[in-house]
Structure 1
Amino acid sequence: MRLKPWFFLSALLWASVLNAQELSCRVVALSDGDTFTCLDTFKNQHKIRLANIDTPEKDQPYGAKSKQILSGLIFAKQVVVDAQTKDRYGRTIALVTKDGLSVNREMVERGAAWVYPEYNQDPSLPGLERQAQAASRGIWGLPCWR
């Protein structure tokens, strides 16, 4: 039995549909400490917002440092994006890993982000946040947070 070329195309399309929640991409830009842009293998651009966490805005205390920490973790690197949902701005809200390391968790652990209580789905994050606070790591070391 000889398979038609369309069979392979449809198999590829089904594979991409089944794996649509997960995306591998290269980080090409950062907006702030919780939002970045990446390119997939087809050079499609994706705007990603880290799920469960929030960081200071660029013009707020520790905003630039939070962005710098995220940059050190992922800029110009390949990451895996596990899409959770989309926000009202069209950004993909996602869990992001780099070489098996949870970027979302790492940002909280380093004190570069705090838990976003209204949207948090990760029960381990509040404990990591308390540890960062107790150690005065990152944002928790600023006088306004003590």
Structure 2
Amino acid sequence: MTGYRRDRRRWARPSLTQRSRWRWFWDLALMVIFFALVALLAAKLNMRPPAELLAGKAYVIDGDTISIAGNHVRLKGIDAPELAQDCGDGAAQTACGKISRQALIKIVGGREVRCEASGRDKYNRSVAICYVGETNLNRAMVEAGQAVAYGDYHDTQAEAARAHKGLWASRFETPQDWRREHEAMPAETETIRSPSIADQVYAWLDRLLGGLW
């Protein structure tokens, strides 16, 4: 029995150094996996849906909304006076909502407009940055003082205010404040109005011919 016990193999317990090494490799592997998952999550959060491209003749609804082939587009980063909005006081009062719309009509000049939409607003309008040639319509409206910055173009607005352009030539309520005071106005009437029959016919022909004419 004594010889058997002496010759019997015993399980060799790993040394403290071996266990520490394996624990270090395991911790390192977990750290690598953790940071890889964080990187994948960050990449997924930064992924944006592809921009929706719209192009064609535009019907100007108001100073920050247009219609292209029946698609209502809200100019991103700006806010223009509502059509029913007046600005100034007394004899200096102006129909700034209608003036803003006319300013956008003039900038567009009947030319083709192309828009890069990045989502939709609560009225299901495409929210986009739009161009005529190389002119950014969103920036041009703020630059002319016919719209205020609404998330973007604050530097441009500051320049327009210093030069007393458009709205900045007199006292005015911001479109947001004006809407808040006129909450009884139906939301759809506030921003979405139907194009004329001629514009609807044009939009139908544009879709029919694929925008090639």
Moved over 3 A (4+): none
8 Å contact kept, 1:30–1:75 = no
Aligned to 1:25: 56
Aligned residues: 116
8 Å contact kept, 1:53–1:113 = yes
Question: Could you tell me which of 89, 94, 104 is aligned with 2:123?
Answer: 89
Report the structure, 1 or 2, having the larger strand content. Answer: 1
TM-score, length basis structure 1: 0.73
Which structure 1 residue ranges, 5 or more long, are not aligned?
1-17, 40-44
8 Å contact kept, 1:115–1:126 = yes
Question: Could you tell me which of 161, 168, 174 is aligned with 1:140?
Answer: 168
Give secondary structure in 2 for the equivalent of 1:96. strand
TM-score, length basis structure 2: 0.51
Aligned to 2:132: 98
8 Å contact kept, 1:25–1:81 = no
RMSD: 1.8
Identity rate, percent = 31
Give secondary structure in 1 for the equivalent of 2:141. helix
TM-aligned CA deviation for residue 84 of structure 1: 1.4
Aligned to 2:26: none
TM-aligned CA deviation for residue 132 of structure 1: 0.4
Aligned to 1:52: 77
Aligned to 2:159: 131
Rg larger in 1 or in 2? Answer: 2
Report the structure, 1 or 2, having the larger helix content. Answer: 2
One-letter amino acid of the counterpart of residue 21, structure 1:
E
